Amino acid sequence: MDRFDEMRVFIRVAETCSFRRTAESLGMPASTISDAVRRMETRLGVRLLDRTTRVVAPTLDGEAWYQRCLAIVGEVEDAEGAFTGGDVKGRLRVDVHGTLARHFLLPALPDFLRAHPQLELVMSEGDRLVDLIREGVDCVVRVTEPADSDLIARRLGVLPETIVAAPEYLERHGSPSTPDELEGHRVVAFLSSKTGAPMDLELTIDDRTVTRRLPAALITTGAETMVSAARLGLGLIQVPRYHVADDIAAGRLVEVLSEYASAPSPVVALYPRDRQLSPRLRVFLDWLAARSLTD
């Protein structure tokens, strides 16, 4: 077993936290797996794994080595794929907002994976800022305006925004028809991971984007929680319309201030410059772009 194969083995051990499960998945004796890790530890001069009778877990050095191994193995697989012209293979790590993934990606994902059977997709859900290099993530998909950074941004579509509230809430507080009538209203606000502050309502007045800050009945980092809180009558929420289209159709939520709707929110994929030519990432981004994220 050469050093590259040892890296593959260590990646699997770090992810399964088990020599036995790693051995079963790779079709090797468990002793071969443990010997490979022991050789790496001896060569590096550090302990990579904490071992108990029931489980193994990466040490701090092991976590750092795991990320380096991920990057190295991924680079080699991408380079081979670019020259051989064969089907993409290997692991692709993406981070996508959960509701966006469930609404736009998952329904068509079986077809994508059937088209690329050797591709293993690891999809984490979140809205926080992700250190793509350190965490070994190939790309993130976000509903945001691309900021100046070292990351490359690929625009995938736009999502119309809407402001809604429960009928019961509007009966108590009134249904605002102009921004001036927002006085006395409350919101369920989304806590921005970028600024650490609740997000204000955004409105379009005379072709200008303006913000309105209202008292918050609830501040949350979860989009689904926002919608649930709005259904319970806790306040106004502003979300991409696809979040609440079914609620609007069923009468559980009512749109307000539609004449002052904010500009649609862009959907972008962000990825490191060194992933730009990755065949795995390229086929995934091309598939995303074809999904027409404009609901």
**Of the CATH numbers 3.50.30.40, 3.40.1360.10, 3.40.190.10, 3.40.50.1220, which one belongs to the domain with range 161-263?**
3.40.190.10
Predicted local distance difference test score (pLDDT) of residue 293 = 63
CATH of segment(s) 87-158+264-295: 3.40.190.10
What average pLDDT does the segment 94-100 reach? Answer: 84
Same CATH topology for 1-86 and 87-158+264-295? no
Predicted local distance difference test score (pLDDT) of residue 127 = 63
| Domains in the chain: boundaries | 1-86, 87-158+264-295, 161-263
* Least confident interval from 6-10, 36-40, 50-54, 64-68: 50-54
Contact yes or no for 271/156 (Cβ under 8 A): no
Q: Taking 60 as the threshold, does the pLDDT of residue 148 lie above it?
A: no
Contacts of 193 by beta carbon, 8 Å cutoff, 6+ apart: 127, 128, 129, 221
The model's confidence at residue 152, banded by pLDDT at 50, 70 and 90, is: confident
Contact yes or no for 157/267 (Cβ under 8 A): yes
Cα angle for residues 210, 212, 214 (degrees, 5° grid): 175
Q: Taking 90 as the threshold, does the pLDDT of residue 169 lie above it?
A: yes
Predicted local distance difference test score (pLDDT) of residue 223 = 85
User: Would you say domain 1-86 falls under CATH 3.40.50.2300?
Assistant: no
Q: What is the pTM of this model?
A: 0.66
Q: Taking 80 as the threshold, does the pLDDT of residue 144 lie above it?
A: no
Helical H segments across the chain, by residue range: 3-16, 19-26, 30-44, 60-84, 98-100, 109-115, 132-135, 167-173, 223-231, 245-250, 279-290
What's the mean pLDDT when you consider all of the chain? 86
Which is more confident, 132 or 3?
Answer: 3
Length of the chain equals: 295
Predicted local distance difference test score (pLDDT) of residue 149 = 67
Which residue(s) pair with 266 in the sheet? 158
**Pairing mode of beta strands 187-190, 216-220:** parallel
Report how far Cα 119 is from the mean position of its chain's Cα atoms: 18
